[in-house]
Structure 1
Amino acid sequence: MLFSYETRLGAAALMPRGVRACLGRRMAILRPRAGVDPQFLLYAFLGSEFQETIRRNAVHGATVERIPLNELPAWPIRLPGLAVQRAAARVLGVLDEKASLNIQIAETALQLMDATFASIIGSSATGSTTTFAELSHQGVLEFGDGYRTKRPELGKPGLPILRVAEVQDGRVTPSLIDHVSDSRRGAMGNKVSRVGDVVLTTKGTVGRVSIIPADAPEFVYSPQLCFFRLADPSPFSRYFMFAWFRGEEFRRQARGMKSQTDMADYLSLSDIKSLTITVPDREVERSLSRKLAVLHERVESAYREARSLKALRNVLLPELTSGELRVEEVEGESIIDGAEISVA
């Protein structure tokens, strides 16, 4: 089992079979002996009980946190009998596998969106070209960057901050850790999220894009994000804009803009205003957007199910690894792939 002993404390994973590699910096290894199931050891390591042990014993340095490896062998970790370990790991593993399968489905649907957009846009003989500045001037598109939060403004109750690392291709993965106090809501203005906003990462890894889903909480955007909010009516749909940001016309322009400074890749609001977008005629755009909407719903539903499965796993994980729930192998019908869960 591989785990991080600096910076990303608590992160761990099993080394895949057939892979030969040398450990990089800040990585360490735990190799189970007889009587310890590797998969269960991973789940026990990730469980809330041992994660709290890590937090309690972490050394807080000047720049990073770390695990004192010389003390790690003395830390307690709960390990039931081998049969119980294997049964619990099997249940949790099924949930993880099903979540991973849904993520693969979502990624395939995203690739189909890209291919559909490129095919129809490439074959369209008519259309018009405009800039984001002109669309804003016409009142059909609102866009802006995030709210620059000052430390005294942090607090609860308040709005969680959506940060650049939490916007992935086609989904948002909020940590819900930092909040801006409700007393600052008036100052946030339009930088508070709305369902259907298209969100683009504009600093560091430029170009990840997602649409705020209906089940997302309300956020305040961080400055490294840019949001795009379409009026009704508008010359194109949010699904068209989402696919356009993943397409070659945007990528080509972004490549020429994002490396203009010596610092991290960055797109400024001035860069965004100058972007040129080609929109096909209305009938072609409507037909394309209908196809994109169906595919995007498949993306969202697959990610939604993956989140639900992971949430269920996170609920079961501490109870299974602590022994509060007992998992027994049974014959005949079962709850999850031949395993039955019962309360000890």
Structure 2
Amino acid sequence: MKKLTIIASAVLLSLGINSSAIAKDGTYVASEVGRNGSIKVQVVIKDSKIASVKVLDWSETHPVADQTKTELIPEIVKYQTTNVNNISGATLSSFAIKGAVNKCLKEAGLDVKNFSKATPKPAMHNETITENVDVVIVGGGGAGLSAAVTAGKAGKKVVLVEKNGFIGGNTSVSGGCFNVANVHQENITMTEGQKKIVEGILAEKVLNPLHEELLNKVKKQWEEYKASGSDKLFDSPELHALQTWKSGDKKANLELVYTLTQNVRPMMEELASMGVNWNGKANQFVGALWPRTQRATNFKSGVGYVDTFLEYIKAKKLPVQIITATAANDLIIKDGRVAGVLAKNKNGTRYVLNAKDGVLLATGGFSANVKMR
């Protein structure tokens, strides 16, 4: 049998018949491991070509990996090759899809080498677009989207630029935990260890006037708590601020930290008005300093906040324009003030974004970049 197979192959080669000529048209399914688990892909082969590619099942992170469906897969079909560029931020998902497609090609009797040619370089544009708006926001993570909603609700015309091809930034890959004091903590009993933590914070050396002010407020709150005889968890925005500041080796701006802890409860209420359903029970998740972590019931990760903002912008028809795959390169300075942003899209299009009221930089998610840090 082996000898006959070799002879048959030789005859095919002598006749100039490619092995793909005997490929089997049909529908093939294969899986490869991606970022969060197995990705199942369906490939339809027709006339020895890739007719379509479809993801049947996956658990990859939305919206980070979504571009593998909207950009990577269409390129595989268009150019008849799995040698397409990976999607930035979704490298493992990209590799998995391409690997599963290759498995399907092999199963169909096709030579994978014939589907590995490089794709042509994308056409570059040489145009400049000027936008005159009230506010320009750089960065489309949770902070940038929150600012865009706030400005949009105030009637401001907003342009938000994001260097990635998707909106969400670091928030979209976070766990979605939300820390706020004095909310949904009624059923938590104070432990002896937690009491010692509070006493330790109150015994710390004063480092600045605001530190002293917060310590005095917490001391008063603590004495009132002990006098009440309560065994429920003790908490306050001031304790939250002191713990947060301490966890960062006291290098942060304490005034800004306190602003955060004072305003996080109103933000929680505003998010509820926008569609976030809180589960009504505080907990202490990994990395949290105190049992003040809130979770939503209608989503399981930070991407829920991203979707909430995007859906709100759309539903309320806020004057917010979002431009993705566009990196801000420089600030426009006029008369000693920041008056706009110069940006460039990955396709070469340049943007001059003039901001009447100001520019907000919300590009804080660089903790993984040691050089920038």
Give the TM-score category using the shorter length.
under 0.3
- In proportion to residue count, which structure has more helix? 1
Normalised by the length of structure 2, the TM-score is: 0.18
Relative to the length of structure 1, the TM-score reads 0.19
State which structure, 1 or 2, has the greater radius of gyration over its C-alpha atoms: 2
